[in-house]
Amino acid sequence: MSDTLFIILSVLTVAASLLVVVNRNAVNAAMFLLVSLVGLAGLFVLLDAPMLAFVLLLVYAGAVVALFLFIIMLLDTTPGVAKPFNKVSIVASTLGGLILLTGVWSLSARGMITTTATTGSVPTLKNYAEQLFTTYLLPVQVVGFMLLIAMLGVIVLSKKFETTEDAK
């Protein structure tokens, strides 16, 4: 049953992730992102990491996707006429993909990517909280502040200012 559930969740996650990328409607893409994150949380549960699954659903699926939806609806994006790919973008994306594959292959060849599980203590909520509020407190606060600035920037940029005729 576990193998079947893994296959179902992995196919769901990969299919939803592909639909995020190829979908023209931004709201539908955000909804497929939500489905992809739920599938990923299910995979975390299968890996006996329910805390990571909960944090993923709470932070990303709950907050980030909701923020994406608010920004998308605030900007009122409507899909326009699709531009065909030009040769420069095709060459750049192919080159970027080859660089990515070369980097993964290089790390794998050096033995930096291993497939065996590490033997260690089972992470608990207390361990996560201790790391979050001691070691990683400043980076978490910086990321939260940057997200706040980005949200305010989007609101300011999306505001439509009316020109007045009195300033002649």
pLDDT digits (tens, 9 = 90+) for 17-60: 999 999 888 888 889 999 999 999 999 999 888 888 888 888 88
pLDDT digits (tens, 9 = 90+) for 109-155: 877 666 555 556 666 778 878 887 888 888 888 888 887 887 787 77
Structure tokens given for 44: 């975390």
Name the 3-class secondary structure at 148: helix
Q: What is the pTM of this model?
A: 0.57
Residue 165 lies in a domain: no
Residue 10 lies in a domain: yes
Residue 24 lies in a domain: yes
Residue 84 lies in a domain: no
Residue 89 lies in a domain: no
The Cα 12–Cα 58 span in angstroms is: 20
pLDDT digits (tens, 9 = 90+) for 77-92: 666 666 777 888 889 8
Residue 35 lies in a domain: yes
Nearest-10 Cα torsion for 21, 26, 31, 37: 40
Host H or E run for residue 22: helix 2-22
Full residue range of the structural domain in which residue 64 is found: 2-79+123-158
Domain total in the chain: 1
Residue 90 lies in a domain: no
The Cα 88–Cα 105 span in angstroms is: 26
